[in-house]
Chain A
Amino acid sequence: MRQIIHLDLDAFFAAVEVLLNPELKDQPLIVAYDGARSVVTTASYPARKFGVHSAMPLARARQLCPHAIVVPPRRHAYSEYSQRVMNILREHSPLVEQVSIDEAYVEIAPERDAGEIARAIQTQIKNEIGLDCTVAVACNKLVSKVACNAVKPRGFGVIAPGDEEKFLAPLAIERLPGAGKATRAKLARWNVQTIGDLARVPVNELRAEFGKIGEYLHRAARGLDDSPVVTEWNPKSVSRENTFERDVREVAHIEKLIAEMSAGVARDLAREGYRARPIVLKLRYGDFTTLTRQTPLRVPTAHADEIRERALWLLRAHWNQKRALRLVGVGAHNLIEPSGTWQMELPG
């Protein structure tokens, strides 16, 4: 039996804003660009109490919650925190599928206790990063995701193997992934209100109405899903990045880190027989302004020394040393497959 953890970060963008500015804690907070036509990206739970939710027009949200604090989204900050969460997940299992910036599936080997691991992940993310999340365990991706949404926020859920259909049956049909507005309108024919109602519709009728999707709906309503956790990548680039505990200005420290990351990038390349063309250096200052700068290579390489040399060259050329760094990353881009073509270099 498979064991899948679904993880969803709670009010993620708003939570990051609170981490970066603790004064916002427990305030009704709305993350949105401030404009006449803008919509709410994320609302904190205190704001949600007033009926504010994501995708709502900002003007409407302001009517519902006039004292809400509106802050503009800071994508770099969110993706950095997201990366840190994903790194924690990868410590627990190599099978991690990141679905979006705040959502992921983790597959746990059958002999391990997935519920215990899910708890550990939740605690670790809270302790090490300071973010709340909801985790749910089930035997497939579909049920773990529905379960996760059912117990948000700061929730924890385990659907025991065999209980999938029983768990889903009473839930509103909207909760089922894939049952969007148009689908629900068509399902009204069978008076489907809950997922259980859908499970009772004969499969051939669903097939006749929806084609292939009908088959999916039938299986999904009964808690059946065998889609794999997709971790494979066909890489266009490989990279390593590192966020410092505190912002750093010491050249030696940064150079040492770049050497380590270059070696890591070289190992990733060598494992698959890839070669890199440009080498990319990513720098993020304390205020989250981020630079990515690249330098081409004369000859595509997988050598750690060459990657390091190019990355250090970029560091010297582009780092304003008066400003402390929050994050440094080294990447290899436009990868050439082992079967690829490149100009070889003369010996000597």
Chain B
Amino acid sequence: MKVSCLQENLARGLSVVSRAVAARSTLPVLGNVLIATDQGRLKIAATNLELAVSCWIGAKVDEDGATTIPARTLIDFVNSLPPERIDLALNVKTQTLHLKCARYDANIKGIDASEFPIIPTLGDGKRIELEPEILREMIEQVSFAAATDESRPVLTGVIAKFEKDKVTFAAADGFRLSVRHATLTKPLEQPVHAIIPAKALQEVGRVSGDQEEPIEISVTENRSQALFRLTNIEIVSQLVDGIFPDFTRIIPESHTTRTTVNTAELQSAVKASSVFAREAMNTVRLQIAPAGEMGAGKMTITAASAESGDNLGEIDATVDGEPVEIAFNARYLADVLGVLHTPQVALETSGSASPGVIKAVGRDDFTHVIMPMHINK
């Protein structure tokens, strides 16, 4: 193999695939990235067997070939090079990759490319197309609510339901639920359901920043893998096996209080209270009072810690319904407020022990449910 490419292209390509490199594996080749010529371009790929990311970059191919190189060594070295042309040459016999860039030289020992797992590519099956900004926002608004511990594996995934012209993403970790709907430009004949690992979706979100064309999604016939095709990038993820709980039943159908506040104001007040909440199981209390003799409606956000003290913040609120006091994990509030993207947020509650529903005011495509903290009043 004999290839030349620009340092910045190689660095970007390596960055795209880097999260799919196995951190600790008994299989050494999974700690490597595949470097291979592919129809006049250079293909870079990594996989931890759960997730595989491939990326193609422009290159001048003088001689076809392939190898795998330890990811950490290659990434760190390439990132330290000047933004100039890099010449790569493989000694097939020793599987040593020679890199030359400006006045820098390196020889990195690799493992034969035949040991690298075969990564499935997008077949001819039914493809779903989604605008990149819509998919990115869906991922952002839903994937953080997925569980990070493995005690209930299905909850580490995002349930993706594609039906006719509708797509729904939902994730829940047992304490909170996030649901987002969107419309497909090309309706589907057959519905597709898949539980996609939240981590894989977050990778799709992370590497799709420059994407302009629609992103193609397909699920393999046996529903074991999902594939995402971007321009010059392909992501293949194993799907989570199992049955996702019926999340529609978790969303309360009614409420006794609806409180509308300014999103940024609530964000600031929650952030201020977090300082005290972090020593008190992250608990912030919201006291919601409708307009009345005491004046305009307001929401009071407080936190108290036995060690460091307490605080109180107050914001204007439009309150429709009963006064209520409810406590939430400050992080859960901060997480959802950070992905709303609307100036106003609505909180619908039915007392201090029932789930609270958070909605972006003016949009009906996003619903977030948070279970409150049990507190002693």
Residues on A close to B: CB < 8 A? 298-299, 338-348
Residue pair B373, A342 in contact (C-beta under 8 Å): yes
Residue pair A346, B250 in contact (C-beta under 8 Å): yes
Contacts of A338 in B (CB 8 A): 376
Contacts of B175 in A (CB 8 A): 343-346
B132: Cβ under 8 A from any A Cβ:
no
Q: A298-B151, A298-B174, A341-B281 are in contact. Are A346 and B371 (CB under 8 A)?
A: yes
Chain B proximity of A295: nearest CB distance (Å)? 9
* Contact among B246, B281, B327, B369 with A346 in the assembled complex (CB-CB below 8 Å): B369
Contacts of A342 in B (CB 8 A): 281, 373-374
Residue pair B245, A348 in contact (C-beta under 8 Å): yes
Residue pair A348, B176 in contact (C-beta under 8 Å): no
Contacts of A346 in B (CB 8 A): 172, 174-177, 250, 355, 369, 371
Contacts of B280 in A (CB 8 A): 341
Which residues of chain B (349-377) have a CB below 8 Å from chain A? 353, 355, 369, 371-376
Residue pair B371, A344 in contact (C-beta under 8 Å): yes
Which B residue's beta carbon lies closest to that of A340?
B376
B329: Cβ under 8 A from any A Cβ:
yes
Which residues of chain B (241-256) have a CB below 8 Å from chain A? 245-246, 249-250
Residue pair A348, B246 in contact (C-beta under 8 Å): yes
Contacts of A298 in B (CB 8 A): 151, 174
Which residues of chain B (25-76) have a CB below 8 Å from chain A? none
Chain A to chain B: the 5 pairs with minimum beta-carbon distance, closest first:
A339-B376, A344-B371, A346-B371, A342-B374, A348-B250
B283: Cβ under 8 A from any A Cβ:
yes
How far is it, in angstroms, between the C-alpha of A348 and the C-alpha of B174 when the chains are bound?
Answer: 9
Residue pair A344, B373 in contact (C-beta under 8 Å): yes
Residue pair B174, A344 in contact (C-beta under 8 Å): no
**Is chain B's binding surface mostly helix, strand, loop or mixed?**
loop
Contacts of A348 in B (CB 8 A): 245-246, 249-250
Contacts of B281 in A (CB 8 A): 341-343
Contacts of B245 in A (CB 8 A): 348
Residue pair B250, A343 in contact (C-beta under 8 Å): no
Given contact pairs A344-B175, A345-B371, a sample of 17 additional A-B residue pairs in the complex whose CB atoms are under 8 Å apart: A299-B174, A339-B376, A341-B374, A342-B373, A342-B374, A343-B175, A343-B329, A344-B353, A345-B175, A346-B172, A346-B175, A346-B176, A346-B250, A346-B371, A347-B249, A348-B246, A348-B249
Count chain B CB atoms within 10 A of each CB in A338, A340, A344 and give the residue with the most: A344
Residue pair B174, A345 in contact (C-beta under 8 Å): yes
How far is it, in angstroms, between the C-alpha of A184 and the C-alpha of B280 when the chains are bound?
Answer: 50
Chain A proximity of B355: nearest CB distance (Å)? 6
Which B residue's beta carbon lies closest to that of A347?
B250
Contacts of B172 in A (CB 8 A): 346
How far is it, in angstroms, between the C-alpha of A294 and the C-alpha of B176 when the chains are bound?
Answer: 26
Contacts of B176 in A (CB 8 A): 346
Which B residue's beta carbon lies closest to that of A346?
B371
Contacts of B283 in A (CB 8 A): 341
How far is it, in angstroms, between the C-alpha of A343 and the C-alpha of B174 when the chains are bound?
Answer: 10
Chain A proximity of B245: nearest CB distance (Å)? 6
Q: A346-B355, A347-B250, A348-B250 are in contact. Are A341 and B371 (CB under 8 A)?
A: no
| Interchain Cβ contacts under 8 Å between A and B, 19 examples | A339-B376, A340-B374, A340-B376, A341-B280, A341-B283, A341-B327, A341-B374, A341-B375, A342-B281, A343-B374, A344-B175, A344-B353, A344-B371, A344-B372, A345-B175, A346-B355, A346-B371, A347-B355, A348-B246
User: 1/0 per position for B232-267, CB-CB distance to A under 8 A?
Assistant: 000000000000011001100000000000000000
Count chain A CB atoms within 10 A of each CB in B177, B250, B371 and give the residue with the most: B371
How far is it, in angstroms, between the C-alpha of A341 and the C-alpha of B329 when the chains are bound?
Answer: 11
Chain B proximity of A326: nearest CB distance (Å)? 30
Which A residue's beta carbon lies closest to that of B328?
A343
* Contact among B151, B174, B177, B373 with A341 in the assembled complex (CB-CB below 8 Å): B373
How far is it, in angstroms, between the C-alpha of A299 and the C-alpha of B175 when the chains are bound?
Answer: 9
How far is it, in angstroms, between the C-alpha of A338 and the C-alpha of B377 when the chains are bound?
Answer: 12
Which A residue's beta carbon lies closest to that of B172?
A346
Count chain A CB atoms within 10 A of each CB in B175, B374, B376 and give the residue with the most: B374
* Contact among A299, A341, A344, A347 with B376 in the assembled complex (CB-CB below 8 Å): A341
Which residues of chain B (149-172) have a CB below 8 Å from chain A? 151, 172
Which B residue's beta carbon lies closest to that of A297?
B151
Chain A proximity of B305: nearest CB distance (Å)? 11
Contacts of B372 in A (CB 8 A): 344
Contacts of A347 in B (CB 8 A): 249-250, 355
How far is it, in angstroms, between the C-alpha of A283 and the C-alpha of B72 when the chains are bound?
Answer: 42
Residue pair B151, A343 in contact (C-beta under 8 Å): no
Residue pair A344, B374 in contact (C-beta under 8 Å): yes
How far is it, in angstroms, between the C-alpha of A345 and the C-alpha of B177 when the chains are bound?
Answer: 11
Which A residue's beta carbon lies closest to that of B151?
A298
How far is it, in angstroms, between the C-alpha of A348 and the C-alpha of B371 when the chains are bound?
Answer: 12
Chain B proximity of A25: nearest CB distance (Å)? 52
Contacts of B373 in A (CB 8 A): 341-344
